[in-house]
Structure 1
Amino acid sequence: MPKGGRLMIETRTAELKPSDVSGHDGLAAGDYVAIALTDNGRGIAEADLAKVFEPFFTTKDVGKGTGLGLSMVYGFVKQSNGHVVLDSEVGRGTRVMLYLPRAAVVSAAAVPERRQLDVRGAREIVLVVEDDRLVRSYVLTQIESLGYTTLSANNGNEALAVLDSGAPIDLLFTDVIMPGAMNGRDLATEARKRRPGLRILFTSGYTDDAIDQDGKLVQGILFLAKPYSRAELARMLRVALREEGAVIAQEPAA
């Protein structure tokens, strides 16, 4: 709604029957909370409807959108065993329905106290390798806001040049799929030749991206799936940087 308009938010309980969830993989019949968001804005073009939940897809101008918002909503809802329905028509507006499973009421006394984990950095140096300029800028900003120092590279060859420069690096955080002859897995192999024990964290928008030569995610690799939240990024950076992280990116046993 670039020129303003009306946004309506509705909530209600909903009982989904087996006939309601038929054809929706992973959605079970039961009690849900339904949240509807309806606007009278310009709507979404039909060609874009199938792509709006894809990580980093955006129709906004350069610098005005990361394409992560709706993909994070979709990921959150699916991880919560819920469902998203999006209807839109150009010139008439958009309606998004979120179905989230109803939670049983639990008294505060029954909830165990969680130990708080310190997930902020201590100025450790993270080399971020990402070929998309906007995504790279976004990731660098997030990592720096968590208390780290960052270096960046556009591709594997640039990353190796940074490593060869002798710059101190505590963690290599690399995308798996990159243009050119060197993907993230290849980069990790070359990086470990130069710096044995270097901690490595992989990321990708697809969990079946080619990390090993068969195109499968191999056991023993530390991996952060896109899209991820700031909290997930913070936690995985700490996991990768802890003492055990030195063995995370070793080659799998034959």
Structure 2
Amino acid sequence: MGKPPVILIVEDEPLVRMGAVDTITEAGFEVIEAGNADEAIAVLERRTDIHLVFTDIHMPGSMDGLRLAHFVRHRWPPVKIIATSGHARIAEADLPEGGRFLPKPYATHEVIGAIRELVGVGS
């Protein structure tokens, strides 16, 4: 069996991030955490094995999750993107091509299903 896909979780709320990390790790993925877009970009610049970025939309820092999604798509085109928010409702047309939006609160099976579909991993 090969190495599991690597998922970068970008979430500024520590408890929400911890829950997402636990859920996605339990589903068999390797997980890396970032608290904002700047940290996420630093991770992406250091690592070439990130398969998907799972980002909150509303975050402090130099850019929000929507801007981060577009930046990632432009700079690292193979990296898949899932954006989430409990405040905004984003149309998939607002995301980079192929990006997904999941409203909070999201169900575990929705997140895992979307990740598996985007990175091409069966259940």
Q: What TM-score, normalized to structure 1?
A: 0.42
Match of 2:36 in 1: 155
Alignment check: 8 A CA contact 2:92 2:100 kept: no
Distance in 2, Cα, partners of 1:222 & 1:141: 21
Q: Structure 2 counterpart of 1:188, which letter? A: A
Task: State the 1:185 CA deviation.
Answer: 1.3
Structure-2 change in CA distance of 1:169 and 1:222 (3 Å): same
Task: State the 1:157 CA deviation.
Answer: 0.3
Partner of 1:170, secondary structure, is strand
Match of 2:116 in 1: 238
Matched, 1:206 2:87: yes
Distance in 1, Cα, partners of 2:106 & 2:77: 28
For structure 1, the 5+ residue unaligned runs are 1-121, 209-215, 244-254
Structure showing greater relative contact order (alpha-carbon pairs closer than 8 Å, 6 or more residues apart) = 2
Match of 1:135 in 2: 16
Between structure 1 and structure 2, the one with the greater Rg is 1
Partner of 2:50, secondary structure, is coil
Distance in 1, Cα, partners of 2:82 & 2:22: 17
Distance in 1, Cα, partners of 2:117 & 2:9: 16
How many residue pairs get aligned? The number is 115
Partner of 2:110, secondary structure, is helix
Distance in 2, Cα, partners of 1:189 & 1:128: 16
Partner of 1:141, secondary structure, is helix
Match of 2:76 in 1: 195
Cα deviation per residue 1:74-112 (whole Å; 9 max; x = unaligned)? xxxxxxxxxxxxxxxxxxxxxxxxxxxxxxxxxxxxxxx
Alignment check: 8 A CA contact 2:55 2:65 kept: yes
Partner of 1:174, secondary structure, is strand
Task: State the 1:241 CA deviation.
Answer: 1.7
Distance in 1, Cα, partners of 2:117 & 2:83: 12
Distance in 2, Cα, partners of 1:143 & 1:134: 14
Matched, 1:175 2:64: no
Alignment check: 8 A CA contact 1:127 1:152 kept: yes
Quick one: percent identity of the two aligned structures?
37
Cα deviation per residue 1:123-171 (whole Å; 9 max; x = unaligned)? 2100000000111111101100001000010000000000111341011
Match of 1:248 in 2: none
For structure 2, the 5+ residue unaligned runs are none
Question: Which has the larger share of helix?
Answer: 2
Q: Structure 1 counterpart of 2:36, which letter? A: N
Match of 1:225 in 2: 103
Distance in 1, Cα, partners of 2:106 & 2:74: 29
